[in-house]
Amino acid sequence: VTLGMESGFGSDFGSGGGAGGKLDPGLIMEQVKVQIAVANAQELLQRMTDKCFRKCIGKPGGALDNSEQKCIAMCMDRYMDSWNTVSRAYNSRLQRERANM
């Protein structure tokens, strides 16, 4: 499962950001940050899909029944809540460690 956001990113990566074809380091860093964010979002979605599918779908078929739909929705909500909690704690710890350097 992909988010479909990778198209277009990197298509102008390394194209001259200014006159004379000089590379703009700030522009390159922003493009790298965007590509990393997209890769992280894709990995999060893939992990969430894998875990919730294994948890909620006993016998795959042509359609999800009502209980499977509810299970998937709840699983994805819990996964996102957990990921957001861990992410906030991690970012907070990084900020504290940077402040102590």
pLDDT, tens digit, 9 for 90 and up, residues 3-50? 444 444 444 444 444 455 678 888 999 999 999 999 999 999 999 999
CA separation for the pair 45, 19 (Å, rounded): 39
pLDDT, tens digit, 9 for 90 and up, residues 55-93? 999 888 899 999 999 999 999 999 999 999 999 999 999
Ranges of each domain in the chain = 28-57+64-100
* 22, amino acid identity: K
pLDDT at 21: 63
CA distances from 29 to 34, 36, 80 (A): 9, 10, 27
pLDDT at 9: 45
In three state form, how does the secondary structure of 16-36 look?
CCCHHHCCCHHHHHHHHHHHH
Topology (CATH level 3) of domain 28-57+64-100: Helix Hairpins (1.10.287)
pLDDT at 11: 46
39 — alpha (psi -120 to 50), left (phi > 0) or beta? alpha
